[in-house]
Structure 1
């Protein structure tokens, strides 16, 4: 069951969707933190995340989903939410490389090894520089004495994104979760006593939901937060393609971003040979002027967007059907907060029934666009992201107040210098190098940020 946004309520208070039968969570007692008590998901939210139940008023000059999304893409965020990362490059067993950006950097201040860690997954062609990522991480990693949470943050930059080298004939995708899985193995090995909570944006939200469903009760993340998740990729793609305006603006914008990302790695792509999964159809793709996202996914993502099997897929439609996350919600076993905007021009349908899973809640805001949620700040010329406050509250609550009801994750083992999990011989990760500092306020020039 999905939602047609034309029927959405006119209230500015986000609408809560949840399962008919409540789930009960174990939390530390507010009277005595050494004791635990049981509470429903709704009561947990009302107590710890009050911002979710307050109105969101879009800035008057950003009063539509298109304007909110455009500001996310074209707004200047270089002077706000400044952040610096320590980058670690990780080689994966299949030859691929991902980049983990940790903050705060070691040179800036020392953080205890057992403090909670926020694991962030960016959008389609983004990275740790994205303004929506920094907007969440900056207040979360700010020291408690300065009004923050004092947490550690780490952004998982997908293969080829945000300056990460492309070292195998495989990309990432909305459905492939092994790169996240291997990043979490590495993080858990480095910080075995730190609670891990996950936040995903757009494509990264889809990866997060699928990971949580696949891992079930043995998830290394004890909670998740999915922002702007595309959910039903088939229906959302059909809608983008059926509307001229959305096809020209959004589908071609996202498709163009993926083409530019690939073009930045032409030297690396040449080393894989013309007949590899990743390169075989690149000449055909590059010959298309302004390709849509569907055209890129048909020639690249559906073929090389993950390991084989299940890749390659016969068509982009087959890939979308497999990679969708709405049908995965029944298997999620940790508390999951999802927030979508009803006027999101990219995401048309959201799972109102939340998989009939009491651990999953979905909040829909009337406005906000795609990863926008901009509201007026105290200064009339400036805006701030409404979504920062409820996500901040959720991260604090699930990292500090929640008592996870999970089984022990698979044991981590080391084999010939590779870190992996018992029973998963196809996975393995090792640190290549500490790649130094990354200035989070400056991203990939030429790419449309926020998409």
Structure 2
């Protein structure tokens, strides 16, 4: 009955109103009536979304001169967002047991203001070759971390920069891939130690969304994230590859741009990788082969580098890019997610093809919202009247920040999270580890410093 009602509602929605896909059989959660209250009610994910994420029940109309997915996506790359949504960070460096280093960017900076230790923390995973400087990251963190008396949520945020991205030093042969979740896992361990009373809320963009969705499915009710939102998640990397490699236009525009962006990132870190990779190892050979590529398509880069050196543990090295895509796809983990997850995709996204609608309908913890327009991480719209902070020369805003901020407030401030069984942390030989998974661990090391969020990386296409 629930599926029939959902289908009926979606059919008769106005074309610009997002389609919402809810589970057939809901999971029920404990929900505080007010922030900090001990008085709770039992409710469903659908009720939370429909009551508190009202932007998803209203129209999203793209700005008239960016009507389709290609131009929305293109504007992510060519638009000037340097003068809006300014965010500054304090960077902390974590050394991991495998020798790698994570660059964790916190906002607001400590010298800007002091927040209570139980302040909700947004944990961000960025896109393919991005970092904390990306405009799509700042577009949400700027209002989320603005003080309440100035119209924001007053939250804290931490961006997990992929190894080798955004100036994060490379100290091991391991970089990152769309399926590598241990760096997120250890970052959350660090936050749990630093702020044990703070609710942790995930926010993922594109490849980072895939990592968060995989993490949630792998952890189930042991997730350190109380809830999460994933935007532009690629879900099925096999189907996405078939789309962008199988069409001449997509291959020449998207596959080539993504492949060359990854190659530029690898070149930036090549000297360090060549020193830390063991001679004649699969990583060393893959590095030499990848650096010999001229203008690779995405599948060429992934076949040469990511499928071989995407991780330093089994099942790597893999036989092909297709094998990597199959392993890394997050759609296969949707059924195991056990914390509330809001997913937002655009139907005209030129990079993401298939959406896990059937999987969402079978899991009471997941809601999928699909807008008709928005492209890949675009969702640009005209600013509301009186909005003096709108972005770029044309005064645009990203519509998607509205439902995401509503979701943060609804979950970070009201969810009890009683279904989770988060593992204990303890100290072992100078490392902080998690009981039952002692192969992972971290310790903070010197370095880091101030990071200005509008500073990108030379030679890389931003926005994807």
Corresponding position of 1:156: 160
Equivalence map 1:207-226=2 (5 Å): 207-226=211-230
Structure 1 partner of 2:374: 368
Q: 1:38-437 maps to which residues of 2 (within 5 A)?
A: 38-271=42-275, 272-355=277-360, 356-377=362-383, 378=385, 381-437=394-450
Residue of structure 1 in register with 2:390 after alignment: none
1:3 aligned residue:
none
Distance 1:31 1:157 in 2: 31
Deviation of 1:266 after TM superposition, in Å, equals 2.3
Contact 2:342–2:367 (Cα < 8 Å) also in 1: yes
> Which ranges of structure 2 fall in alignment gaps of 5 or more residues?
1-10, 388-392
**CA deviation vs aligned residue, 1:108-138 (integer Å, no higher than 9, x gap):** 1111111000000000100000001001111
User: Are the equivalent residues in 2 in contact too, given 1:182–1:429 (CA < 8 A)?
Assistant: yes
**SS of equivalent to 1:265:** helix
- Equivalenced residue count is 445
Distance in 1 (alpha carbons) for counterparts of 2:290 and 2:85: 37
In structure 2, the residue corresponding to 1:120 is in which secondary structure? strand
Q: CA deviation at 1:142?
A: 0.5
Offset of 1:307 from its aligned partner?
A: 3.4
In structure 2, relative to structure 1, the CA distance for the partners of 1:450 and 1:381 (3 Å cut) is closer
CA distance in 1, matches of 2:289, 2:36: 64
In structure 2, what is the Cα distance between the partners aligned to 1:373 and 1:254? 20
- Match of 2:427, SS? strand
2:36, 2:145 → 1: CA distance?
Answer: 26
Query: 1:170, 1:277 within 8 Å by CA — same for their partners in 2?
Result: no
Report the alpha carbon displacement of residue 286 of structure 1 after superposing the two structures with TM. 2.7
Q: Is the 8 A contact 1:16 1:361 kept in 2?
A: yes
* Coordinate RMSD, CA, aligned: 1.7
Q: Determine the C-alpha separation between the residues in 2 that align with 1:32 and 1:425.
A: 34
Q: Give, in angstroms, the shift of residue 441 of structure 1.
A: 0.8
For the residue of structure 2 that corresponds to 1:136, the secondary structure is: helix
- Which residue number in structure 2 is paired with residue 4 of structure 1? none
Q: Which runs of 4+ in 1 moved over 4 A?
A: 7-10
Structure 1 runs not aligned, ≥5 long: 1-6
The answer on 1:442 being equivalent to 2:455 is yes
